[in-house]
Amino acid sequence: MSKIARFVIWICSKFTRIEIEQIIAGLLDVLNNRNPEVKPKDDFKEKHPNYRNFCVDPLPPLTEPPVAKQSPQPKDYKLLLAQYQAVHGKPLSPVKHHPNSPKVPPQMLCPLCNAPHIYIYYNDGNKRTQLKCKVCNHLFQLNQRFRKNDKSKYFCPYCHHTLFKWKERKEVTIYKCSNDNCPHRIQALNKLNPPERFIRKKLSSQFKLCYQYREYHYKPGELLHSAPDKPNVDLTKIHNPPDILGLILTFYVSFAITARKTALILRSVFNINVSYQTVLNYASAAAFYCHSFNLKHKGPIDSISAGDEAYIKVMGKHHYVFFFISSKSLKITAYNVADNRGVQPAVAAMNETIRTAEPGQEIVLITDGNPSIPLVSTLSIRSQTTIQIFNTIRLLDSKTLIRNPKSLDPLNNSSNASIELINIM
């Protein structure tokens, strides 16, 4: 019996005829798109798990060109021919070319054993670029190319090929590996199922196959935690005593009562004459001093911190708060406010979170699937400072755990905390 048949039997055993008719009417509304809040399950992602799966590659790129392979020791072709005759009892015959096959120029010699052209043949057919020596089996190029004055910045960690600058924006530069035979690309191709391979023929850009690396460019001043403006009111010189200040902040902040209602309550209940502007001035001043106190006395952080973002309204406009909380002490270690969901405010919140980390401390930052949280990136600071970020768990589901080690050099150089990146993809 199929799953649908069992479900129908269960519905008939639990609901009356009128209720079943109501269920059918509701389902018809969903199928006819008359209920915008409820949509049928879309199994396209289950059938195509790699479609538009744009995750960040775990390994960082190589910053130095790979070490060239050591050239083999030179050999003597006469000695090799003598050894062949001693083993096989006959001399090694020269290369026998087909009538239409390309022949090697007479002046060509093997660069390894110095064998003449009669023992050399083209190993790639009509391309005539790769040659092979029959005496020592050495492969070499007809016109060998050398890399001169290579200005490449990054190299692929899988195939060691140069990463080319693929896309460049104001805040980020994306580098990409163009090697079709890269092991990373071949592994990604092998993960595609038949339906995905069919889609890739028409929409190849919807599958991330090649290695990519994102380099973010920010000045140190752009990664500072947001802070309230310095107030015009000095709380040490106000005319009201501290208990009235606390009473104002209690109603206005703790109970979220408006400034006008707070002034009305103080005047009607406590016979304290203050204006609503005084309430606003006291709250702004308290916010500035409380924020400075929080950053100065934040103290050390736990090894695991969780982060998220929240939507708030400031002067009637949407803003976002990126915050992190320690797992054990449950203290808020960062609460960066921004008017956008970009990478910069997220990185600023992370930077403030790990600012007071102990030297050598291993940190895990847990976040959700917000794409503005960079997973494995290097921030290229224009003041010759390089920052490695960040240790993140993306809580999309709890199926797979991929561990990606990484290190950190904070902006202010006050800590050398190493960060281990964990991605739950």
Q: Are 108 and 130 in contact (CB under 8 A)?
A: no
Q: Alpha helix (H) ranges present in 43-175?
A: 44-47, 77-88
Model pLDDT, residue 113:
92
Q: Which residue has 């920052």 as its token pair?
A: 387
Higher-pLDDT residue of 146 and 313 is: 313
Contact present, 392 and 424 (Cβ < 8 Å):
no
Which pLDDT band holds residue 90 (cuts at 50, 70, 90)? Answer: very high
Query: What value does the mean pLDDT take over residues 58-81?
Result: 82
With beta carbons less than 8 A apart as the criterion, state whether 176 and 210 touch: yes
Determine the Cα–Cα distance for residues 245 and 251; give it in Å rounded to an integer.
Answer: 10
The Cβ of residue 204 has, within 10 Å, a number of other Cβ atoms equal to: 9
* C-alpha span between 59 and 237 (Å, rounded): 56
Mean pLDDT of the chain: 81
* Residue 68 binned pLDDT confidence (cut-offs 50, 70, 90): low
Residue 387 has pLDDT above 60, yes or no: no
pLDDT given at position 410: 33
Higher pLDDT, 183 or 314: 183
Q: How far apart are CA 26 and CA 34, in angstroms?
A: 9
Q: What ranges in 32-172 are assigned the alpha helix state H?
A: 44-47, 77-88
pLDDT for 45 beyond 80: no
- pLDDT band at 391; cut points 50, 70, 90: very low
d(CA 300, CA 391): 17
Average pLDDT for 370-384: 49
**pLDDT, position 87:** 92
Query: In percent, how much of the chain has pLDDT > 70?
Result: 83
Q: Where are the chain's structural domains?
A: 3-40, 77-141, 235-296, 304-423
Confidence of residue 373 (pLDDT cuts 50, 70, 90): low
Sign of CA dihedral 312, 291, 344, 397: negative
Lowest pLDDT segment from 35-39, 48-52, 65-69, 105-109: 65-69
Quick: pLDDT tens for 149-163: 556 789 999 998 999
CB distance 417 to 302 below 8 Å:
no
Q: Per-residue pLDDT for 183 more than 60?
A: yes
DSSP 8-state secondary structure symbol assigned to residue 355: T
Comparing 37 with 414, the larger pLDDT belongs to: 37
Region 96-125: mean pLDDT is 87
Distance CA 130, CA 143 (A): 9
- Residues 136 and 112 sit within 8 Å (Cβ to Cβ): yes
Indicate yes or no: pTM above 0.85: no
Q: Across 61-70, 280-289, 297-306, 388-397, which has the greatest mean pLDDT?
A: 280-289
Return the biggest CA–CA distance within the chain: 119
Tell me the mean pLDDT in the region 48-65: 79
Answer yes or no: is pLDDT of 250 > 60.
Answer: yes
pLDDT of residue 171: 81
pLDDT exceeds 60 at position 381: no
Supply the pLDDT for residue 150: 56
Residue 401: the pLDDT is 30
Q: Are 405 and 420 in contact (CB under 8 A)?
A: yes
Residue entry with tokens 């309230």: 228
* Residue indicated by tokens 């090894």: 303
